[in-house]
Amino acid sequence: MALLDGKIALITGVANRWSIATGIARALHAHGARLCFIYQGERVRDEVEKLAAELGGAHCYPCDVRSDEALIELAAAVRRDYGRIDTLIHSIAYTNKEDLQGKVYTTSRDGFALALDISSYSLIALSNAFADLLGDDASIIAMTYLGATSIVPNYNLAGIAKAALEAIVRYLAYDLGPRGIRVNAISAGPISTASSRQVHGLRHILEMVAAESPLHRNVTPEDVGKTAVYLASDLSRAVTAEVHFVDSGFHAMGVCSNARAPEPS
């Protein structure tokens, strides 16, 4: 059953075939959505265009989300080529590597401003740029992580930026709700991607989730993509301002132990 026939989705954050955004793009396409992509920098252009060619020949647009002028140009190009947007996927984050290590109180002012601008404010900027292009009953979906609400060692400033992102999701949901536009976040479990590998100790985190989560496995970009299909479809038309965890249930664990509790007799 194609849940997204006739819908148009703008995807941000594709860096390579292993990206979470790539898993989301594939899932939306499989359910009938037409796609378009934005990317920043020539370094990822080939990968994004290759994926776009695989998924229906989607348009690809360069855009620096820190630039209001670039966002205005992007919105004009999408209006010209597609006319509207039904789903906006925000999968953008950046933190200087030095701000993912050490102590939070040593974070530089410039590093803080950069991380919050790219990782958090960009959701506001994109929503503003596409406000007139988002159809009624559209869906905005942002990617977040457990480090927004819990301490994840070495996630540091990235967690602070995700906390801001989750707050933005709630306030945008309130502002856009009268138009039927839903705004939600997906909190994915740790996945080995180019960006997540910048977090020191990622291998240990992956091992812990596989060992301690209720489902005893790590999640994949495909798992996240399936949840994105639900949030982009009419199945979730009464769901907004929510953070949906796709992490094998790890977020619900209060205490982790290497030994499972004995089975009831």
Which of the following is catalytic: 105, 155, 174, 230?
155
In whole angstroms, give the CA distance from residue 136 to residue 177: 10
Q: Is 174 annotated in the active site?
A: no
Between the alpha carbon of residue 262 and those of residues 5, 213, 257, the distances in Å are: 47, 16, 12
171, 16, 172, 160: which is closest to 93 by C-alpha? 160
Q: Residue type at 247?
A: D
Which of the following is catalytic: 39, 82, 121, 145?
145
Q: Is 94 annotated in the active site?
A: no
Instruction: List residues with catalytic annotation.
Output: 145, 155
